[in-house]
Amino acid sequence: MSTKLRIVPAAGRPIEIDPQVAGKYSGNAQDALQQIIRNEIRDPQLLALLADPRVSLEKYTQDESGNAHEAVLHPGANWAGIIEELQHHDVEVGMAKTLTGGYGYRQCGESGSGLDRSPASLLDTDTQEFVQLPERYSVTEEDKQASARGERIFITGAALAAAEAICRFAGSSEILWFWTGHENRPEVISGVAIPMQQASAGWCSAIGHEILRINRMVRRAGRFIIGSGHSHGMSSVFSSSIDLRAMADLAQQRVGFVSDSQRLLQGTVSSVQDSGAEGKGPADPPAEARLAVTFGEGSPEIAARISTRRADIAPGDLRVELACRQQRIASLFSTHNSRCEHLLPLFAVTMCPVCGGRGESPKPSLVPVHVIGPKRLSKKQGERLRLEVDSKVQPGYRSYQNSQAYLPADEKHAEDFEVCRHGRLIGYVPAVAMEKAAHHVKELAQSLGWYDEKPRVDQH
């Protein structure tokens, strides 16, 4: 039986490694994975993901009979044990990381309470164009290239209808889901996958273990995860600071629309000091010139050495260029609400495997969204979706301390709202109490910016 090793970065597509290649590495699991990513995959962002203290490792095995087993993989586990299992099983090593959407936080020193529902990156004046296409529309080669470059988004009306149904089922609560596409039609968002999650009126969060599980389930159906979306309940649609970070996390996991491009790197040539060859005195003239070439901004590593018998050649006499492949990922973390309003921003990241550079777009971009077919779900599809929401989303108002357990460590800030009267601080209200009150009192939700009276407008 031919077995395979797959490295799965959370919600991203698996990266297949030849078992013989994996067998060349040794040590513990963390070190072996680090070497494989550095030497074989050559993705600096996956290295950063592996080193993230919020990331845990999991191992999933399956034999030819379909028997499967999943377990936590300790970073210090012996890598030889993984190689031994590869003799009889397919092995997936997953990097689990929690995905959270919801409110943002003000930075220390800023006025106001710790919670911040205001847009972090998209202004209220930003608008997104929606284009309706017929149900039988077939994407062209130009469409495919534009989608890969992150210049257009293609989504079926059924997928958008599913998002609207989820928002109606959620009411005032935020709910997280993943956008999926068929492996034979990767440029079109055509489905949703709902993970097990915690949710409230202010946030939604799926833990890393569940994300790896839903990723496997999606792949078994011949699909893969393209991006993620979440409901803002009755609030307006915008990207908070937490949402912006989610886009960057998804891009790091290789989730989104992927395109390749070529970049020409200019090399920096410098002299290499000769320590002196045997049998030659210090006054002897050099027999050859030895030069080093580095690529990338400020990279200390020597990428190439040049030796020539022309001892008179100086670094300034040479110009060295390197053509390298760059990968651009446009990740999607969309926002929707109960009034059928939609915002699908793309956050672009360009990564260079040679210099390790990472270029991010200064803010998410709102590209045209092309909707293929009517926004319609059958009664059976709607009922199945409601059952899935009911079974996978744990709604309600939990203690704020518990909700913070699903946030990254550096995002656990003040848990109370400050109450001021006539410019004077008179007390504090716990966030969980404020969320519960706003759920029942529309005027309070409006004053907090969590709800407005804008009429329901169908943009499609």
Please report whether residue 386 resides in a domain. yes
Please list, in sequence order, all residues whose beta carbon lies within 8 angstroms of the beta carbon of residue 112, skipping any fewer than 6 positions away.
106, 418
Residues 66 and 180 in one domain: no
Please report whether residue 213 resides in a domain. yes
Q: How confident is the model at residue 295 (pLDDT cuts 50, 70, 90)?
A: confident
Please report whether residue 265 resides in a domain. no
Domain that holds residue 239: 109-143+153-255+331-367+374-396
pLDDT over threshold 80, residue 452:
no
Q: How confident is the model at residue 302 (pLDDT cuts 50, 70, 90)?
A: low
Please list, in sequence order, all residues whose beta carbon lies within 8 angstroms of the beta carbon of residue 141, skipping any fewer than 6 positions away.
none
Please report whether residue 203 resides in a domain. yes
Q: What is the CATH number for 90? A: 3.10.20
Please list, in sequence order, all residues whose beta carbon lies within 8 angstroms of the beta carbon of residue 14, skipping any fewer than 6 positions away.
6, 7, 8, 92, 219
Residues 209 and 70 in one domain: no
Least confident of 107-111, 353-357, 435-439: 107-111
Please list, in sequence order, all residues whose beta carbon lies within 8 angstroms of the beta carbon of residue 99, skipping any fewer than 6 positions away.
10, 11, 176, 205, 206, 211, 228, 246, 249, 250
Please report whether residue 51 resides in a domain. yes
Answer yes or no: are the C-beta atoms of 460 and 375 closer than 8 Å.
yes
Q: What token pair was written down for 262?
A: 């070529």
Residues 136 and 173 in one domain: yes
pLDDT over threshold 60, residue 108:
no
pTM for this prediction: 0.74
Residues 136 and 74 in one domain: no
Residues 71 and 114 in one domain: no
Residues 213 and 362 in one domain: yes
The mean predicted confidence, pLDDT, of the chain is 81
Q: How confident is the model at residue 401 (pLDDT cuts 50, 70, 90)?
A: very low
Residues 90 and 131 in one domain: no
Residues 125 and 229 in one domain: yes
Angle between helices 157-170 and 379-392 (to 10 degrees): 50
Please report whether residue 335 resides in a domain. yes
> What pLDDT sits at residue 358?
65
Residues 34 and 115 in one domain: no
Residues 208 and 344 in one domain: yes
Please report whether residue 282 resides in a domain. no
For a pLDDT cut of 70, what percent of the chain falls above it? 77
pLDDT over threshold 90, residue 325:
no
Number of domains in the chain: 2
Cα(298)–Cα(303) distance, integer angstroms: 12
Q: How confident is the model at residue 112 (pLDDT cuts 50, 70, 90)?
A: very low
Residues 27 and 85 in one domain: yes
Residues 226 and 136 in one domain: yes
Q: How confident is the model at residue 116 (pLDDT cuts 50, 70, 90)?
A: very low
Answer yes or no: are the C-beta atoms of 150 and 257 closer than 8 Å.
yes
pLDDT over threshold 70, residue 381:
yes
Q: Which residue has the tokens 């988004």?
A: 153
> What pLDDT sits at residue 301?
59
Q: What is the CATH number for 133? A: 3.40.140.10
Please report whether residue 71 resides in a domain. yes
pLDDT over threshold 90, residue 406:
no
